Chain A
Amino acid sequence: MPSTISAWEFAFPESTYSSEDFYREFPAIKRGNLEKTGVLKRHVASDGEFGSDLAFNAARKLMENLQLDPGSIDYLLYLSCDLDYYAPTTAGILHHRLGLKSSAGALDLVQGCSGYLYGLQIADALAQSGTHKRVLLLTASLLTKYIHPQDKGNRFLFGDAASATLIEHTNQGGLGPFLMGNDGSGAEAIIIKNGRSRHPGVDDNAPEIVDEFGNITTDNHLQMDGLAVFRFTMRTVPELVSTYLSQQRLTFNDIDLFVFHQPNLYLNELLRKKLRIPEDRFVHCIENYGNTVQNSIPLALHHAATTGQLRMGMRVLLCGFGSGFSWGITLLQYEQHAS
């Protein structure tokens, strides 16, 4: 039996950081360039906010909206780079906090901007296995905590968020098939080097790395080679979409709506134009959130449903891509109301 996305919800850190805040902090930066990213506002986590807390809040909102019995959830997936501990799993802790039954599984997944597709694929496989009819997929990104205060470009671009998505059996519509991929040669294009096994902890003496535009980072912080990411995206995504549609014996005209990861407006417009997708069939949702990593696709789905761009019965193409490099693509036959 196919599975589908039947509901979604979100949670955000309390603080927001507007572009006006940004230009007040960096008055020497000329307006007009960074606006091409499309970001006007983003939520930013404080030191006391954590991915698991945001994911918990998103899950609770979803359960309250649907009046969902926690005991009816058969599996919890927590997909994030923001894990509470080395061990145990954060998913296991969330399982307890949300009051799930002990026979429900719980698993952490680590993935970046393609993560929502990876999470959906595993949730879909669990749901289709027949023993886990209802899967709760939680995603969270608090990447702004790892951006150097003087890394101006990335501070403008990224925002924090968490999402909760319910995936369950359906009689109509459904997800899939999935086409995934990875190219580990791009590992250093988007990386935070310190803090895990290979380089444990934070190095207080990590040297500053300054680019030609005065952006500063260190091995304790996010390092993003924007050009490498740009070239990967422009090389990989159009071919991925075309290959996938060809494999499914579909054409672009068979797709009602294209929902991509939201890295920035400029890049997604280039992709849209390269793929010759009409504006009204392509979702942009970065203005009020920034690039929220694993959360961008569900946020874009929600935005499209709210504005009427996404409607019942539509065949939607979802495509995620980013750090790793990694990518994934699938179809969603949208048949059920979201929260």
Chain B
Amino acid sequence: MDSLEIFTEKLLVELDSFPADSLKPDTHYRQLPEWSSMHVLIIIAFCETEYGITVTGEDLRGCSTLRDLHNLLLTRQ
């Protein structure tokens, strides 16, 4: 599993519709105006394709930040 910094860097490439510097490891991403259902799919696909880890919508609802998500992935590897 990548470090939080590398994980965030890779995920931001996929989540390219957020303005630069608006999404950091401790940002509450649901509060960003750009946050949409498309991002949920992108994050789930990213976790599956990049790390081979299945994340559900329920899992994502329990995460508020990319740090939460990274911690979740660490428990699943």
A234 within 8 A of B: yes
Complex Cα distance, B44 from A30, in Å, reads: 21
- Which chain A positions have C-beta within 8 A of B41? 226-227, 230, 266-267
- Which chain B positions have C-beta within 8 A of A211? 37
- Which chain A positions have C-beta within 8 A of B40? 226-227
- Which chain B positions have C-beta within 8 A of A29? 36
B30 within 8 A of A: yes
Complex Cα distance, B45 from A71, in Å, reads: 51
Scan residues 28-72 of chain B and give those whose CB is less than 8 A from a CB of chain A. 30, 33-42, 44-45, 48-49, 56-57, 61
Among the listed B17, B56, B61, which residue makes an inter-chain contact with A30, where contact means beta carbons less than 8 Å apart?
A: B17
> Could you list some 24 contacts between A and B, CB below 8 A?
A30-B33, A30-B34, A32-B16, A33-B34, A33-B36, A33-B38, A34-B36, A36-B17, A36-B42, A37-B38, A153-B37, A153-B38, A213-B36, A226-B37, A226-B40, A226-B41, A227-B40, A227-B44, A230-B41, A234-B45, A266-B38, A266-B41, A266-B42, A274-B49
| Majority-rule SS of A interface residues | helix
Complex Cα distance, B22 from A79, in Å, reads: 47
Closest partner residue, chain B, to A227 (CB atom): B57
Residues of A within 8 A of B (CB): 29-34, 36-37, 153, 211-213, 215, 226-227, 230-231, 234, 266-267, 270, 273-274
Complex Cα distance, B30 from A237, in Å, reads: 31
Closest partner residue, chain B, to A273 (CB atom): B49
- Which chain B positions have C-beta within 8 A of A266? 38, 41-42
- Which chain B positions have C-beta within 8 A of A273? 49
> A227-B41, A227-B56 provided; 20 other pairs, C-beta below 8 A?
A31-B17, A32-B16, A33-B34, A34-B38, A36-B38, A37-B38, A212-B61, A213-B35, A213-B36, A213-B37, A215-B37, A226-B40, A226-B41, A227-B57, A231-B44, A231-B56, A234-B45, A266-B41, A267-B41, A270-B49
| Majority-rule SS of B interface residues | helix
Complex Cα distance, B34 from A34, in Å, reads: 10
Complex Cα distance, B33 from A29, in Å, reads: 8
Contact with A along B8-24 (1 / 0, CB 8 A): 00000000110000000
- Which chain B positions have C-beta within 8 A of A153? 36-38
Interface size class of B (residues with CB under 8 A): 20 to 34
Q: Are B44 and A230 in contact (CB under 8 A)?
A: yes
Complex Cα distance, B41 from A227, in Å, reads: 7
Q: Are A33 and B39 in contact (CB under 8 A)?
A: yes
The 5 A-B residue pairs whose C-beta atoms are closest, nearest first, are A32-B17, A33-B36, A227-B57, A33-B38, A30-B34
- Which chain A positions have C-beta within 8 A of B56? 227, 231
- Which chain A positions have C-beta within 8 A of B16? 32
Closest partner residue, chain A, to B17 (CB atom): A32
- Which chain A positions have C-beta within 8 A of B30? 212
Complex Cα distance, B30 from A213, in Å, reads: 9
Closest partner residue, chain A, to B35 (CB atom): A213
- Which chain A positions have C-beta within 8 A of B37? 153, 211, 213, 215, 226
Complex Cα distance, B55 from A234, in Å, reads: 13
- Which chain B positions have C-beta within 8 A of A267? 41
Complex Cα distance, B50 from A270, in Å, reads: 12
B48 to chain A, nearest CB (A): 7
